[in-house]
């Protein structure tokens, strides 16, 4: 004998009803819709080894990227059924098609794996439950199913569900070639095999499959065997990983997901008190943010939610009624104040846990060992964003930095380093934002092919990654990261690879992007234990070629490309003091000279080159005035002049205040422009001065109104009372004991 229970995956009402039905039936075996090659994972369910939400992961050990996820929450009926089996000490099995056959089917039929919809899989492109819901006056099948079968604390309705699904299947029969037909044949065969050993079996499956499995003994076994003939099962490995309610939600893209996981947990644990607990939880969160949420308001909101549910013929309030009531009472009619509550009280921020007792690959164990050594265990368990400030002079914090950098090298972006404040740019300070994602566990499993330890995996993966790379900038980023990760062997490998690429590279822009990174590596090389001589050798190879090739490059760029090269030129100028060779500065200035004299060079870059030469005192103020006068002369194209000014002033427009000659020439040039030309260059000029800070723009406006600071000072000096000045000089001379005041001048 066997009994089939059709459920909704992740349905709280289905989970309650399954427990009630199992208590009545007292089965000697439980069969659950799930991958039949993952039975080894069942014994951990319902024990302290797992804290839901968690996900079963089934993967090919030879290719971990080919993995399938099967999430479970505490309100999942399958989870409750398997927990019952483990607690009662009765056998339990998964009976669905093995993952390897799912993958093979996808490959051969070019079909996407269809995860179960609201009440199981449907073979048709139509949405039959959606049609039924609309006939009943509901917008979608999710809301209708939730109200009819999940929300109500009513006795189990498995017979009614089976009758409904039988009607749907009769109206929408499936094709023999459909994936669901193959799955159901496999499940029926699993039931037949179990009936040879057990006599009181409970079968838990998606509601849509219920009628097909109930007919197991009525259909000929030969037909199912014929359908399954030739299918070859491949050995797979299974394990458990933490999951989150966010990933369990429909909005994450998971088709069998639910709209409100956090609400469903309340609904499963105490359906009669779920509305009260939800509203109290929302009020508590509001008070934590110093927002009004009194006990009286909570009572009023609960009453309003109950009233709305009665008006809509619902036995208890649902999440929509609760949200509307919260907006009306706690939000004073405005939803904006409560938008942030949706993620915490409807979706939820809960993350599950997996005990170390669950089988893991060696790399997982090594990573967890490193996490404990770096004292980041609390951050690793946290589902939210955690900011961590590290002082590399402290050993355990240096270990934390090394761990986070190694995780980045491995392709597991647990930590993201933020930009330091301009007042805190020392080599011993780092600020990280840490956020763990559920898929990190699978990423670690995938990375296990590269090694058994974190260091070994980082080295082997990076070696494989850079085999065909030919961009120095990407390799220099890895070089900097490997130094931070304290992997000297990897650093040596990257330097050798970069030297080979640098010897053949002709990409000037790529080489320019590399220089600031190499300069930073040299600056902190002693702290990061990087081979400075090897880095110098790379710079010796590429910097002269940058200086030779840059002028020709500036003649081949449009405005967008010129903006990128503009930033690169500024970066190189800032890092010249760090670069080891004294000849680099001379070569750089010669290159700038050529750019200024090159007629075809992009005007913005010519303007920048002029400024950089003056800042390095390579040209005198008189030479600067001559070049400015030439750039703004009537013979120049108006647009080119505007771009020249942008390049010259970009990032340093305040220099106008201290160069009267430039101010006067710019003022004269602008004043002499015809209206049409002025309108044409205005966007460029506005962009130029938009980069200045508010204080700098105010100074420039004051200078336009009242004159330059030097002029204002001269004007002030004209108003000085000479007689009073002479009297002051006499007094100062007497105080100092001088016979006259001549020495004061």
Per residue in 376-415, pLDDT (tens digit) is: 988 888 877 889 998 888 888 889 999 999 999 999 999 9
378 and 313 within one domain: no
Give whole-number Cα distances, 650 to 99, 520, 647, 654, in Å: 59, 24, 5, 10
Whether 443 is in a domain gets the answer yes
Whether 263 is in a domain gets the answer no
745, with CB counted inside 10 A (0-12, 13-18, 19+), is exposed
191 and 102 within one domain: yes
Whether 109 is in a domain gets the answer yes
Work out how many domains the chain is built from and give that number.
5
Could you read off the pLDDT of 608-638 as tens digits, one per residue? 888 888 888 888 878 877 887 787 777 778 8
Rounded to whole angstroms, the Cα distance separating 721 from 100 reads: 97
38 and 22 within one domain: yes
Cis status of the peptide bond prior to 9, with omega within 30 of 0: no
Q: Which two tokens stand for residue 151?
A: 């929300």
In terms of residue numbers, what domain contains 741?
708-745
Residue 666 has pLDDT above 80, yes or no: no
Single out the residue in 314, 347, 380 at which a domain terminates.
347
Whether 459 is in a domain gets the answer no
Residue 144 has pLDDT above 90, yes or no: no
At what angle are helices 472-484 and 508-523 packed, to 10 degrees? 20
Q: Nearest to residue 263, comparing CAs of 341, 148, 154?
A: 341
Max mean pLDDT range (108-117, 249-258, 285-294, 403-412)? 403-412
728 and 698 within one domain: no
Residue 652, number of CB atoms within 10 A of its CB: 15
Whether 467 is in a domain gets the answer no
Whether 590 is in a domain gets the answer yes
740 and 633 within one domain: no
385 and 341 within one domain: no
Phi-psi region of 429 (alpha: psi -120 to 50; beta: other; left: phi over 0): beta
134 and 167 within one domain: yes
Q: Nearest to residue 302, comparing CAs of 277, 284, 271, 336?
A: 277
Radius of gyration of the chain (CA): 36
Residue 338 DSSP code = G
Number of H helices, E strands in the chain: 35, 12
302 and 233 within one domain: no
Which of 308-312, 571-575, 677-681 shows the lowest mean pLDDT across its residues?
677-681
Residue 699 has pLDDT above 80, yes or no: no
Whether 489 is in a domain gets the answer no
Single out the residue in 222, 252, 282 at which a domain terminates.
252
Could you read off the pLDDT of 345-356 as tens digits, one per residue? 888 878 888 888
Single out the residue in 321, 347, 373 at which a domain terminates.
347
Could you read off the pLDDT of 283-304 as tens digits, one per residue? 888 888 888 889 999 999 999 9
Q: Nearest to residue 407, comparing CAs of 449, 463, 364, 354?
A: 364
Q: pLDDT-based confidence at 566, cuts 50/70/90?
A: confident
Could you read off the pLDDT of 182-191 as tens digits, one per residue? 899 999 999 9
332 and 423 within one domain: no
206 and 83 within one domain: yes
336 and 418 within one domain: no
593 and 733 within one domain: no
**CA 432 to mean position of chain CA atoms:** 14
Rounded to whole angstroms, the Cα distance separating 579 from 594 reads: 22
Q: What is the pLDDT of residue 408?
A: 92
Q: pLDDT-based confidence at 427, cuts 50/70/90?
A: low
Strand, helix or coil at 477? helix
Whether 148 is in a domain gets the answer yes
């Amino acid at each position: 004998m066997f009994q089939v229970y059709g459920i909704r995956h992740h349905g709280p009402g289905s989970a309650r009803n399954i427990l009630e039905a199992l208590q009545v039936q007292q089965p000697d075996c439980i069969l659950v819709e799930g991958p039949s090659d993952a039975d080894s994972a069942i014994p951990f369910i319902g024990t302290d080894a797992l804290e839901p939400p968690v996900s079963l992961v089934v993967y090919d050990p030879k290719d971990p990227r080919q993995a399938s996820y099967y999430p479970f929450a505490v309100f999942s009926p399958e989870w409750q059924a398997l927990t019952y089996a483990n607690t009662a000490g009765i056998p339990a099995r998964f009976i669905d098609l093995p993952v390897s056959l799912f993958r093979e089917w996808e490959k051969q039929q070019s079909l996407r794996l269809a995860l179960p919809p609201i009440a199981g899989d449907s073979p048709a492109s139509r949405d039959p439950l959606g049609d039924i819901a609309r006939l009943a006056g509901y917008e979608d099948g999710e809301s209708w199913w939730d109200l009819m079968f999940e929300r109500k604390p009513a006795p189990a309705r498995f017979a009614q569900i089976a009758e409904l699904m039988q009607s749907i299947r009769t109206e929408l029969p499936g094709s023999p070639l459909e994936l669901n037909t193959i799955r159901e044949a496999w499940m029926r065969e699993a039931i037949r095999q179990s009936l040879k050993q057990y006599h009181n079996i409970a079968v838990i499956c998606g509601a849509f499959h219920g009628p097909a499995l109930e007919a197991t003994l009525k259909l000929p076994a030969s037909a199912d065997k014929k359908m399954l003939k030739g299918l070859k099962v491949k050995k797979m490995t299974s394990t458990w990983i933490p999951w989150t309610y966010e990933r369990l939600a429909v909005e994450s893209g998971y088709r069998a997901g639910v709209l409100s996981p956090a609400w469903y947990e309340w609904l499963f644990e105490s359906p009669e008190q779920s509305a009260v607990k939800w509203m109290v939880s929302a009020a508590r969160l509001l008070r934590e943010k110093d927002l009004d949420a009194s006990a009286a308001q909570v009572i009023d909101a609960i009453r309003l939610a109950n009233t709305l549910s009665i008006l809509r013929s619902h036995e208890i309030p649902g999440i929509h009624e609760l949200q509307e009531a919260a907006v009306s009472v706690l939000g004073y009619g405005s939803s904006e104040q409560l938008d942030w509550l949706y993620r915490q009280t409807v979706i939820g921020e809960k993350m599950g846990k997996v005990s170390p007792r669950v089988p893991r690959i060696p790399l997982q164990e090594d990573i967890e060992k490193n996490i404990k050594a770096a004292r980041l265990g609390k951050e690793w368990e946290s589902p939210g964003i955690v900011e961590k400030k590290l002082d590399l002079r402290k050993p355990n914090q240096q270990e934390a930095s090394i761990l986070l950098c190694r995780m980045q090298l491995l392709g597991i972006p647990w930590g993201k380093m933020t930009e330091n404040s301009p007042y805190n740019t020392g080599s011993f300070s780092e600020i990280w934002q840490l956020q763990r994602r559920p898929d990190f566990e699978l990423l670690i499993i995938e990375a296990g092919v590269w090694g058994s330890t974190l260091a070994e995996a980082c080295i082997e993966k990076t070696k494989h990654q850079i085999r065909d790379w030919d961009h120095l900038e990407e390799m220099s980023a890895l070089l900097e990261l490997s130094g931070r990760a304290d992997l000297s062997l990897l650093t040596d490998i990257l330097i050798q690879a970069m030297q080979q690429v640098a010897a053949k590279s002709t990409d000037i822009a790529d080489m320019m992007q590399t220089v600031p990174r190499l300069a930073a590596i040299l600056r902190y090389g002693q702290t990061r234990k990087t081979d400075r001589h090897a880095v110098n050798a790379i710079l010796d190879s590429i910097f002269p070629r940058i200086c030779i090739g840059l002028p020709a490059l500036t003649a081949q760029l449009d405005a967008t490309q010129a903006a990128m090269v503009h930033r690169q030129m500024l970066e190189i100028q800032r890092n010249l003091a760090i670069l080891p060779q004294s000849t680099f500065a001379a070569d750089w200035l010669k290159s700038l000279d050529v750019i200024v004299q090159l007629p075809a060079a992009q005007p913005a870059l010519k303007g920048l080159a002029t400024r950089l030469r003056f800042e390095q005192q390579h040209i005198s103020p008189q030479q600067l005035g001559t070049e400015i006068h030439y750039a703004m002369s009537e013979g120049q194209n108006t647009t080119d002049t505007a771009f020249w000014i942008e390049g010259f002033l970009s990032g340093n427009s305040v220099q106008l205040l201290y160069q009267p000659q430039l101010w006067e020439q710019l003022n004269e040039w602008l004043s002499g422009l015809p209206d049409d030309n002025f309108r044409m260059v205005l966007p460029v000029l506005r962009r130029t001065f938009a980069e200045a800070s508010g204080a700098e723009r105010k100074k420039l406006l004051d200078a336009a109104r009242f004159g330059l600071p030097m002029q204002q000072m001269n004007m002030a000096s004209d108003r000085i009372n000479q007689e009073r000045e002479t009297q002051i000089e006499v007094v100062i001379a007497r105080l100092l004991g001088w016979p006259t005041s001549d020495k004061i001048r």
